[in-house]
Structure 1
Amino acid sequence: MKKSHKAYAILNMIVLIVVIFWNYWVNAKGLDGKTVSSLSADYENLFTPAGYAFSIWGLIFLALFAQAIFFISRAFSSTKDSDFLTQIGPYLIMANIGNGLWVYMWLMEYTGISVIVMLGILANLIITILNTNMERWDAPRPIIFWLWWPIALYSGWIAVATIANISAYLGKAGWGAGDSEIT
């Protein structure tokens, strides 16, 4: 039960709550009349996700919130290991901050900058996966369920979203916009 573990656990929870609220607010109210899914539809390309695909964020945020509770319970326990918090704390927090920043950049139609932010989110999640040695050791079930699975879900979606984000940027830049026949 180190002070840094407590700090990472609490900061992660605070950042996550802010990011969840921000994502909900801008997608319910819109920013300049735009939501993430409506703007995504404006950048139609061969990799544009359907509007309902964005509902995965409800599950991702639920998993991350449960994970944040697990982090706090471990950080404040004198008998449970919480060393993983120093391995991943800063990177998961940066990924979540990046998530909120990406939403803003996307809705302001700074598509190129949103790609850079998305790559930053992905990089932080990959570092998190590598630092926990995910899926490469026989971890106890609580670690698998509360630590690995939420990160796997989050990073899996971000990997797909990165491709979609790059496709939207290239489409906006006019790449591949000419008339062509599909054979």
Structure 2
Amino acid sequence: MKRTWQLGNALALVFALVANFLTGAQILDLPPINEVSDKYATYLTPAGYAFSIWTLIYLLLIVFAVYQARDLRDPRDENDVPLRLGPLFIIASICNGLWTYVFVKEWVGLSVIVLLTLTATLYAALWRLGVGTTRPSTKDFLMVWLPLMLYTGWVTAASIVNIATYLDSKDVTVSPLASTVVIVVLTAALLFLLLKRNLRELLFSCAWALVAVGLRQLQLSQSTSVAIVALVCAGVLVLAMLVHAMARGLSYDGRTESAPA
């Protein structure tokens, strides 16, 4: 069964990459994703440059896919990641590949369901792997934890934007006040995850998104309050990450020793 999950994880990621390329390159005669995003832009929509984080995430996911399949020919007991993940990464990758197509087709409500499924599946994967509650080896941290945490953090922020986009498509405006409340609640939830689950690197992607939200609001001169709150909350997340890193390093189980190589 382990080999099945290893191959499934790799093939599912290939599906996600190819699907996103075909959609993004407009080979399927679909509108650009930024055109649809701008059509339903809200106070929570980040600046366009923010989506460049996908390049980093995809590169790290490729590393993850190769690493989890490293013993495909000669299975070793110490590599239990595929068995612990089960079908979760496969489901997440399928949702990833489907989302862009669904979104550019302007099936916005369905895109919310797909993205929330992706997000929930990734959190389940983090829980199944014990991310943030055990002390990983350096390799496991860099090639399993880091890719999945950055991925999960970004889709967490993207899910909130997607919901706001859906509301806008239904002529329900998310006001600046509501947007600031959402940002503050998101920040509080992330700090809770940091304290209770040590999901430090997950905060980076969300902080990246919040900076992009703030800068877009300043650039367009739409809402100074949303811009200030987004930038301040991003700063709080970065500060919390730094304090956590100085206190624990790569140790996530309450001890301060460095993780074994």
The question of a shared fold, defined as TM-score above 0.5 by the shorter chain, is answered with yes
Residue 159, structure 1, aligned to residue 156, structure 2? yes
Report how far residue 24 of structure 1 moved: 1.4
Gaps of 5+ in 1: none
**CA, structure 1 residues 78+26, in 2 after alignment: closer, same or farther (shift >3 Å)?**
closer
Match of 1:21 among 14, 18, 21: 18
SS at match of 1:136: coil
Deviation at 1:75, TM superposition (A): 3.8
Counterparts of 1:55-66 in structure 2, within 5 Å, are 55-66=52-63
Shift of residue 96 of structure 1?
0.5
Partner of 1:140: 137
Q: Equivalents in 1 of 2:20, 2:75: separation in Å?
A: 35
Q: Which stretch has the larger CA shift, 23-32 or 36-45?
A: 23-32
TM-score by length of 2: 0.64
**Residues 111 and 169 in structure 1, CA contact (< 8 A), matched pair in contact too:** yes
* Pair 51,31 (structure 1): closer, same or farther in 2 beyond 3 Å: farther
* Aligned counterparts of 2:140 and 2:106: Cα–Cα separation in 1: 38
Q: Which residue of 1 aligns with 2:87?
A: 90
Contact 1:92 1:128 in 2 (8 A): yes
Return the letter of the residue paired with 2:43. L
CA RMSD of aligned residues (A): 2.2
Q: TM-score, normalised by structure 1?
A: 0.89
For 2:116 and 2:75, locate their aligned partners in 1 and report how far apart those are by CA, in whole Å: 37
Contact 2:30 2:105 in 1 (8 A): no
Match of 2:70 in 1: 73
Distance 1:124 1:53, change over 3 A: same
Matched residue count = 179
Partner Cα separation in structure 2 for residue 97 and residue 83 of structure 1: 22
Aligned-pair identity in percent equals: 31
In 2: Cα distance, 1:42 partner to 1:52 partner:
17
Q: Distance in 1 between matches of 2:47 and 2:29?
A: 21
> Displacement of 1:80 after TM fit?
5.4
Residue ranges of structure 2 left out of the alignment (5+ in a row)? 178-222, 226-261
Amino acid at match of 1:101: L
Deviation at residue 10 of structure 1 after TM alignment: 1.1
**Structure 1 counterpart SS, 2:25:** helix
Change (3 A) 1:76 1:144: farther
Q: For CA contacts below 8 A with separation 6 or more, give which structure has more relative contact order.
A: 1
